[in-house]
Amino acid sequence: MLSIAESLIFAAVFNENAMTPRDKALYDFLSQFITDERKQRFEEVLDYRTRHLTVVLEDIFQPHNGSAVLRSCDLRGIQDIHIIENRYEYDVNPDVVMGSTKWLNLYKYNGEEFNTPAAFARLREKGYKIVATCPHRDDFTPDTLPLDKPIALVFGTEKLGLSDYAVENADMHVRIPMFGFTESYNISVSAALMMYALTERLHQSTDIDWHLPDEDRNQLRLEWTRRTLTRIRQYERKFAELHPEFGEIDNQ
């Protein structure tokens, strides 16, 4: 079991709200209780965080591999991960994620028997191009995949790959070149290689605005501060006492 501080926030919607006056006041209050070094680390990480690239995991059932993908997402600055549960419930191995889930936003799609269409529709509403990772399709490689629009990179299980729906309804397909006898990379390796290549291209780009907007940075400062404090409920109760004009804090 993960601790409360490491618990994941799972939802099938995006947080589209800007910082409210209560959020700003809450951050000002909570930030008093974290060190300057931690605040500086937040800024260093935020400089490389992006939502221009997001990762989608379709029906991943191997906790070790799925958790390794989350760890790589954090290390490569990818903030949002979308988890589609069709036949299998996604599970996290805390020994593999090494606490990285504290800093990520995960969104689950599990309301129907087959949830890939709903996930794709929601991502397209947010402006993403759906990119299916397929070892046998020759559309693009990580070096040639267009990055001018936000992309959602979809990974399937190691043995079964993506569903037919995911492959046929993607906007583009990408593969990592292979030169051996083995048919495919392990999913965690494939995801790490793909994310490294694509984020390096973003970092080197001079004409793609891949950074987080200020409002997103502000929201993450608050979220990360809350997840850093081990007695967050006590701090929030104190804040509510000091600022009754804001009402009660909605605990997640």
Two tokens, residue 115: 């949830």
Partnered with residue 56 across adjacent β-strands are: 82, 154
Total number of domains in the chain? 1
Does residue 180 sit within a domain? yes
Does residue 129 sit within a domain? yes
User: 57 phi and psi, to 5 degrees?
Assistant: -115, 115
Does residue 194 sit within a domain? yes
- pLDDT for the residue 11: 39
- pLDDT for the residue 160: 76
Does residue 251 sit within a domain? no
* Nearest alpha carbon to residue 1 among 74, 70, 93, 68: 93
Domain of residue 95, residue span: 48-204
Instruction: Give, in order, the Cα–Cα distances in Å from 132 to each of 60, 154, 194.
Output: 15, 5, 12
- pLDDT for the residue 9: 39
CATH of the domain at 192: 3.40.1280.10
- pLDDT for the residue 66: 85
Q: Whole-model pTM?
A: 0.89
CA–CA dist 37, 157 (Å, integer): 39
CA–CA dist 99, 197 (Å, integer): 24
Does residue 78 sit within a domain? yes
Residues in the chain, pLDDT under 70? 1-17, 93-99, 249-252
Instruction: Give, in order, the Cα–Cα distances in Å from 179 to each of 135, 176, 184, 194, 216.
Output: 12, 10, 10, 16, 41
Does residue 189 sit within a domain? yes
Maximum distance among all Cα pairs of the chain, rounded to whole angstroms: 66
Does residue 37 sit within a domain? no
Two tokens, residue 248: 């009660």
Two tokens, residue 161: 């790959």
Does residue 36 sit within a domain? no
CA–CA dist 7, 208 (Å, integer): 33
CA–CA dist 50, 212 (Å, integer): 6
